[in-house]
């Protein structure tokens, strides 16, 4: 990403200038050099001096398989294929927690509605449940699929986890004990 930015620095300025207010530090010295830029004009009813929402990036080393808001919207929880879980403030992007579990390649993940647990599905056919606040695995892996897990989801009350896999089956698990409650149901 750094290489792309270093090659395209002028484009970063050009993109920002269209949105910059007349008195902002970026606008004044550069606008005379780029006279053909489109300008964004807001209706008078919206007022002047609008504050733009912060733009931030949450960095992972590998592909992100889950990005979700916490129940109260104050945090973003993200999970990458390499097993890194980041919790960040949703208004600033500031990282609050980070944990990594190197249990194999994650293919999918889901956040419980209450934001306290993550279910992660793996290429090795297992499913694991995690405590978001402690970064610890809850119980033993859920084992039963015969091919890589493709999706997982919590029930609304977070007492059950449903999973599907490349073995063309769907299974329902009791989240607390890890017991298979229903399935496998074959899907065609």
Confidence grade of residue 90 (pLDDT, cut at 50, 70, 90):
confident
Dist CA 80 CA 169 (whole Å)? 24
The answer for residues whose C-beta is within 8 angstroms of residue 80's C-beta and 6 or more apart is: 60, 61, 62, 63, 64, 65, 106
Q: In a 10 Å sphere around its CB, with 0-12 CB exposed, 13-18 middle and 19+ buried, how is residue 58 labelled? A: middle
pLDDT reading at 50 higher than 50: no
Dist CA 129 CA 170 (whole Å)? 17
Lowest-confidence range among 49-63, 102-116, 152-166?
49-63
Output the pLDDT for position 52.
46
pLDDT reading at 165 higher than 90: yes
Looking at the chain, list the stretches that DSSP marks H as alpha helix, in order from N- to C-terminal side: 2-7, 9-17, 27-30
Q: What percent of the chain has pLDDT over 70?
A: 68
Cis peptide bond upstream of 135, omega within 30? no
Confidence grade of residue 1 (pLDDT, cut at 50, 70, 90):
very low
End-to-end CA, the chain: 41
Output the pLDDT for position 40.
52
Q: What is the mean pLDDT of residues 5-27?
A: 58
- Full-model pTM: 0.65
Confidence grade of residue 145 (pLDDT, cut at 50, 70, 90):
very high
pLDDT reading at 173 higher than 90: yes
pLDDT digits (tens, 9 = 90+) for 26-40: 556 666 666 555 555
DSSP-derived letter for residue 27 is: H
Cα–Cα–Cα angle for 176, 125, 58, nearest 5°?
80
Output the pLDDT for position 58.
64
């Amino acid at each position: 990403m750094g290489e792309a930015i270093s090659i395209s620095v002028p484009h970063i300025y050009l993109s920002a200038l269209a949105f910059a207010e007349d008195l902002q530090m970026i606008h004044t010295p550069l606008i005379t050099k780029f006279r053909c830029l489109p300008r964004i004009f807001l209706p008078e009813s919206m007022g002047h001096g609008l504050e733009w929402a912060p733009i931030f990036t949450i960095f992972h080393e590998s592909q992100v398989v889950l990005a979700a808001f916490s129940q109260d919207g104050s945090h973003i929880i993200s999970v990458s294929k390499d097993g890194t879980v980041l919790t960040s403030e949703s208004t600033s992007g500031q990282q609050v927690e980070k944990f990594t579990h190197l249990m194999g390649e994650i293919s999918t993940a889901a956040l419980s509605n209450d934001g306290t647990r993550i279910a992660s599905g793996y290429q090795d056919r297992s499913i694991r449940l995690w405590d978001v606040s402690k970064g610890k695995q809850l119980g033993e892996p859920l084992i039963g699929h015969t091919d890589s897990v493709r999706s997982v989801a919590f029930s609304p009350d977070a007492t059950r986890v449903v999973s599907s896999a490349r073995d063309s089956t769907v299974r329902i698990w009791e989240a607390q004990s890890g017991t298979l409650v229903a399935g496998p149901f074959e899907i065609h």
